[in-house]
Structures are given as C-alpha cells and as structure tokens.
Amino acid sequence: MIFFGEFMQGLSLYIFPAGLILACYVFTRMKREKRCLAIQQEERAAGLIEPASLHPSIDPGFCVGCAACVTACPENNVLGIIHGKAALIAPTHCIGHGACAAACPMDAITLVFGTATRGVDIPHINPDFETNIAGIYIAGELGGMGLIRNAVTQGKQAVESLHKAIGNTRGRDRLDVVIVGAGPAGFAASLAAKERGLRFVTLEQEALGGAVAHYPRGKIVMTAPAHLPLVGKMDFKETRKENLLIFLKKAERTAGLAINYQERVEAIEPVQGGFRLKTQKAVYETSTVLLAIGRRGTPRKLGVPGEGHSKVVYRLIDPEQYRGKHVLVVGGGDSALEAALSIAGQPHTKVTLSYRGDSFGRARQKNRENVHRMQMTGALSVLLASHVKSIADTTVELEQGGRKITLPNEGVIVCAGGVLPTAFLKKIGIMVETKYGSR
C-alpha cells in the first residue's frame, strides 16, 4: 500500500507537468487558429480570395497539420492551420515562392495556376521554352514561373536553346535575339546572351527588376541562391526587394550591360529569316525573340486629356519626392491606398485619393483603417465614386456625382492595375491556355 502511494505520488510529479505542457500547447494552437480564421475572414470580406499566379493547392486527405508549410513560407500570413489542416488564409499575398511544397513531408501540396472560379492564362511553351511560333521564346513570370531563382534559370536556358536553334544561320543584317523585359528572367537572359557573344538588345518598358520593382517595400523576394552568367552566384538565402534591386544594378554596371529602358514593344511581325519588332522609338530586325515580360502587363491608363504629362506616373517609387506638393492618387486597391498613405506621411503634403467605387472593398482591412484614420486627421482627402476628367499643368479636374472638382496638382499616381498581355500574345499567334487550378 505504501509502495502504491509512493508510486502514485511519483507519477503525479510527471503527469502534472505533462498536462500543463499539453494544456499550453492546446491553448496556443487554439489561439493561432483563431487568429488564422480572423485573417481568412478579413481577406474574404475584402474580396481578396484569388491568388495572382502560382500558388499552393492543399490536399486535406494528406495534410497532417504539421505546419511545416506555414513555417517555410517567407511571406507572413499566407498559410495557416485551421481545423488541424493547412489552409490558404491570405491568397493574394502569395507570390509563388514554392517553399511550402518543398517543406511538406506528406506531399500534400501541389503548386497550381488559377482556381476553379478564376482562370489564369498561360502561354503554351515546349521544354526548350519555344512557343508554337518557331523563333519566339518565353521565360519567367509570363510562362507562369514567378519564383525568381527559377525565372533566372529559365532565362539562361532559353538563351541556350535559341543559341542552338540559330546555329550557323546568324545574319549580319539582323540581331540574333531581342530580349523583351528586364526582370529576373530577362536580366539573366541578357547576361547569357552577352556571355555567348550574341548580337542582341534588351528592351524594358519601365525599370530594372520588372514586376519585382512593383512589390511593396521590404518584401522578401528571394529565399534561395541563384547563379547569373558573367556575374556569379546570387548568394541570397532571404533577401528583400530593395537589396535585390541594388544587387542587379551593380551587376548591370559590372557586366557592362546596356538595357534600353522606357522602350515598349508595340508589334512583332514575322519577316524572312526572323521577326521585325516595332517600339515607340525604333524598329529591330532579329532572328529570334525572347519574351521575358511579367504578367502585370502594361499599366492600365485613365484615357483622359493630359495623361501624357510628365507628372503622371503608374507606380510610386519614392514618397519623399512629393514632399510639400499637391498630389492625386487614383485607384482603390492596396497599391493605391499604400501609395496615398506613404505620400500623406510626408511633411506639408496635400494628398487626394480618388476611386471610382463607393468603398475600398478590394483593399486589406488594415489599409482601409489607416486611410480612415488619416482622413479624420485631415492628412488625406478621399473622393469616392469619383472620376478623373482631365489633367492640366498645375491642376486636375474630377467629377463626383455630377459635380466638377478642380484641385491644384503637381503629381498624379495612377494605381489602376495592368492590362494582361494575353491579347498581345494572341495577336502574334502564340497559343494561350487558361488554367483552372492546374499545372
């Protein structure tokens, strides 16, 4: 009896701590799940339910809720554990790192394009990155590969493929290749073309980095190293947008790479022995074309008088450049709200946010709350259900409910999204397939 009592007493010394640990674990897990549910509901309420491109599809039959995918994802709050299973809680934040699929021990995650309700257009390309139009190649985000490391690899491999295809047919009267886009894939392709001694030009309608340049400040864009021709290893394990762009600019100078910025391709036509590319600045004859453009496409414009003014831009680069000025921001998504908020934070700046809708339903709750707070303090003016009618040198004219509004203005930032290049591809003759939650 004494032995039994001592046994129970000793056992209690282990049971109580174990029970306490278990209780803490259950409490913590329930707290995290509650937070994940709140984020998921907030995103759904804002209509932010469709991933932009490559994203994880989770099979609940295989998922064991280990949270390895949650831990591996470099983005905050994309994945979470709900009811003991992994789930996409903020789909629009996913940019296709793919780390979640690699980390899953049960192979419960498949990376897919589109969803059952929203298709994503992906051009048809063969294993050599050539499209159904012989001589036109695609690499990087346009082909569905948003992950920078893979986009860099594709850019290099595409150049190797077209280099072999050209063979001894290289002509003195034309370029070997025109590379369209200076994002990760186009940049790597340009270095590979230079390394191979090809005659080429690289055209970029905006700035170095492509879609990366449009990511929010501080966003993690690389989680694994990659290798660039002529430059060497990009030894990044976890780097942010700003650091990557600094690296690319330095690499551009070091390699002596010449990229034609602010030059947009308007047409690609087949000619004897290759293609003729027309931009707003020049005409190029080339044997092959490599399209390394992003899926964001050409910025959507307002189509109003005065939009060609130099003070009108389609992305915010540096809020400080608008210090002390009158600024108009147009749009109702997160990019518009974040631009307006960052500019309104500059001293002595007058910012007006114009949106055609009645509410900012597409934006995250935090951004909506911050806009409301700054509106209450007078730091930011908001004009809902309004439209820009014209842009003059020192003013802008808007319409709201039939009423014309004229505002002093020294800068306009249009955040109205982009026109996807699907129509451009089809005009060339490239086959495009719509993916609904598949590879």
Q: What Cα–Cα distance (Å) separates residue 275 from each residue in 137, 139, 176, 259, 286?
A: 12, 18, 10, 20, 5
3-state secondary structure at position 194 = helix
Q: Is the pLDDT of residue 260 over 90?
A: yes
The pLDDT-based confidence of 19 (bands split at 50, 70, 90) is: low
**Does the pLDDT at position 12 exceed 70?**
no
Closest CA to 200 of 159, 238, 232: 159
Closest CA to 268 of 431, 427, 418, 433: 427
Torsion of CA 76, 79, 81, 86, to 10 degrees: -160
pLDDT of residue 146: 62
The Cα-based distances of 204 to 191, 211, 259, 291, 296 in angstroms read 15, 11, 7, 11, 13
Query: 437 falls in which pLDDT band (50, 70, 90)?
Result: confident
Is it true that domain 2-112 has CATH number 3.30.70.20?
A: yes
The strand pairing partners of 87, in sequence order, are 80
| pLDDT at residue 119, rounded to an integer | 79
**Which CATH number is associated with domain 121-297+421-435?**
3.50.50.60
Q: What is the mean pLDDT of the chain?
A: 87
Using an 8 Å Cβ cutoff, are 297 and 417 in contact?
no
Q: Which residue has the higher pLDDT, 135 or 225?
A: 135
Quote the CA–CA distance of 125 and 136 in Å, as a whole number: 10
Nearest by Cα to 165 from 40, 34, 289: 289
Q: What DSSP assignment string belongs to 94-161?
A: -----HHHHH-TT--EEEEBS-SSS-EEEE-B-TTSBBSSTTEEE-SGGGT---HHHHHHHHHHHHHH
The pLDDT score that the predictor gives to residue 294 is 79
Instruction: Give tens-digit pLDDT for 322-355.
Output: 999 999 999 998 889 999 999 999 999 999 999 9
Per-residue pLDDT, 145: 64
Most confident of 261-265, 299-303, 390-394: 390-394
Task: Determine the residue type at 20.
Answer: L
Query: CA of 24: how far to CAs of 27, 35, 342, in Å?
Result: 5, 16, 40
Mean pLDDT check: name the lowest of 65-74, 165-174, 315-324: 165-174
DSSP 217-260: TT-EEESS-EEETTTEEE--SSEEHHHHHHHHHHHHHHHT--EE
Using CA atoms, how far apart are residues 335 and 110, in angstroms rounded to an integer? Answer: 29
Q: Please state which of the ranges 1-15, 47-61, 386-400 shows the lowest mean pLDDT.
A: 1-15
Residues 435, 120: Cα–Cα separation, whole Å: 5
50-54, 101-105, 118-122, 155-159, range with the lowest pLDDT: 50-54
Euclidean distance between CA atoms 56 and 113, whole angstroms: 9
Tokens of 420: 């996807």
Q: Is the pLDDT of residue 21 over 90?
A: no
For residue 5, pLDDT beyond 70? no
| pLDDT at res. 295 | 73
pLDDT tens digits for range 140-175: 888 776 677 888 889 999 999 999 999 877 767 899
Q: Provide the greatest CA pair distance for the chain.
A: 103
312-418 is classed CATH 3.50.50.60: yes
Q: How sure is the predictor about 416, in pLDDT bands with cuts at 50, 70 and 90?
A: confident
**Per-domain residue ranges of the chain:** 2-112, 121-297+421-435, 312-418
Mean pLDDT of 416-434: 86
Question: How does residue 10 score in pLDDT terms, banded at 50, 70 and 90?
Answer: low
Counting DSSP H helices and E strands in the chain, the numbers are 9, 27
Confidence band (pLDDT; 50, 70, 90) for 277? very high
Q: What is the pLDDT of residue 199?
A: 95
Distances (CA, A) of 114 to 141, 176, 297, 304: 14, 35, 17, 33
What is the full DSSP assignment across 168-186?
A: GG--TTSEEEEEE--SHHH
| Cβ(74)–Cβ(238) below 8 Å | yes
CA–CA distance, 182 with 189 (Å, rounded to integer): 9
- Per-residue pLDDT band for 189 (boundaries 50, 70, 90) equals very high
Cα gap 246→203, rounded to integer Å: 20
Question: Above 80 in pLDDT, residue 46?
Answer: no
Same fold, 121-297+421-435 and 312-418: yes
Q: Which two tokens stand for residue 331?
A: 């749009």
Q: Residue 25: is its pLDDT beyond 80?
A: no
- Greater pLDDT, 319 or 25: 319
Instruction: Tell me the residue length of the chain.
Output: 439
